[in-house]
Homo-oligomer: A and B are copies of this chain.
């Protein structure tokens, strides 16, 4: 809409001032006040005179005057534009102002939070699902249906906890996909899993006091969130059975874990460890966050129970998301809450952002209830199984000397152990130069003790691409191995 329409040009005092004066003044003020921005294209004099019902000659005279006084400029063949106005620069001490930020922010480097993943020819990015096969046509239909319902319900207040229908849909979905028995009263809709974590932090963390245990290597977005909330983080090792529960001190208030598909190693927590974890929580009054971000994609035939299914003492906050099983932009997730935390969690949601878009919640509900979610999950499960198997097969076929894939129970990425004498971090960076997007564990957790492993996501790479990419990896490994061999033989005489 044209900002000129917004200008109040009052012609009532035209007895003492000419029309040209009145119009020039009004436009000048509008430019000074930035109502008309730099570079804004003015209407043609003909159009302007028609809109404002004055003669065209008046407007031509107005434009002339404003060009002379430097407010407008005419570019031949293009039109008349608002000229860029020089602003008086004020000297401000930005460093001093920056010191107003709470400590965490002043020590944070933008790159600290997540490694940059640039999409290259072969994309093993982590955390990206296969959206190429998502039924966007169906999604468009349910969104359209939801906008119709939105009109009918526009006066209804939205509950902060989320739409009951959607929550019931999630309960049903969890009951058969993850064997979690719950009720819609225990579920709260959130803006993805990340917001669920933020709200739990708001509930349970007393700054500089509360101890939180998490896996190391672990999910960086959780780690930074705990740091932002000023928790004391206790890092716990991960082995082939998952989180090493016996390393967790008794005085932590909260344990964050990704048991189905540990981030980033991909291992599943053994049943023994799960029992041990729940026992510990129950004994020492500890809350657990179970982040089950991509467990829908079971790759093996044996299901592993969720901690939530095994939890009989209401210590587990089960966090799930639709970003992975649908597409990231859905921005909807949920938390299945222990009963004692429901009221506080919903109030935290209210104070944080009221509630999620009912439009999107309705669309998601329709998508689930019409059976599209389970259909898509089943399709993706098959797709990810094929890709996972292709990676393992190709690596065993071509790179067995250097690389060992780990078994994963579910999900959209795996970690691959790199032979000791080749540094996985260097390898990943070299592969990136070769056109392969890939990370090492060190990209997620800068820890000297971190496993020497690559992390390969397979959401955005086809089986054919996997084959070509592994050949390229093989070539790179051989070349690196040679260089290291030369370096080693060069080095030895000097040692």
Contact = CB atoms under 8 A, between A and B. Distances in A.
The 4 tightest CB contacts between A and B, nearest first, are A1-B371, A34-B181, A3-B176, A1-B374
A364 B190 CA distance: 21
Given A351-B198, A359-B329, A341 B101 contact: yes
Contacts of A277: none
A464 interface: no
A113 interface: yes
A148 B140 contact: yes
A114 B90 CA distance: 42
B329 A36 contact: no
Given A172-B37, A195-B352, A131 B105 contact: no
Contact of A8 (B2, B301, B314): B301
A150 interface: yes
Contacts of A413: none
A86 interface: no
Given A143-B143, A192-B353, A203 B358 contact: no
B198 A108 contact: no
Given A1-B374, A151-B140, A180 B331 contact: no
A481 interface: no
A357 B332 CA distance: 9
Contacts of A105: 203, 344, 347-348
Interface stretch (A73-81, A222-230, A430-438): A222-230
Interface in A258-301: 285, 287, 301
Nearest to A373: B1
A383 B371 CA distance: 44
A356 B331 contact: yes
A151 B135 CA distance: 9
Interface of A: 1-3, 5-6, 8, 30, 33-37, 90, 92, 94, 96-98, 100-103, 105, 108, 110, 113, 119, 131-132, 134, 136-137, 139-140, 143-144, 147-148, 150-151, 154-155, 158, 171-172, 175-177, 179-181, 190-192, 194-195, 198, 202-208, 221, 224-225, 228, 230, 253, 285, 287, 301, 309, 312-315, 327-331, 338-341, 343-344, 347-348, 350-360, 371, 373-375, 460
Contacts of A343: 110
A285 B175 contact: no
A35 B353 contact: no
Given A108-B347, A354-B331, A34 B179 contact: yes
Contacts of A92: 313-314
A305 to B, nearest CB: 8
A16 B92 CA distance: 84
A352 to B, nearest CB: 5
Given A206-B103, A357-B329, A175 B314 contact: no
Contacts of A301: 8
A460 B137 CA distance: 36
B113 A347 contact: yes
Nearest to A195: B353
Contact of A177 (B6, B330, B373): B6
Contacts of A341: 97-98, 101
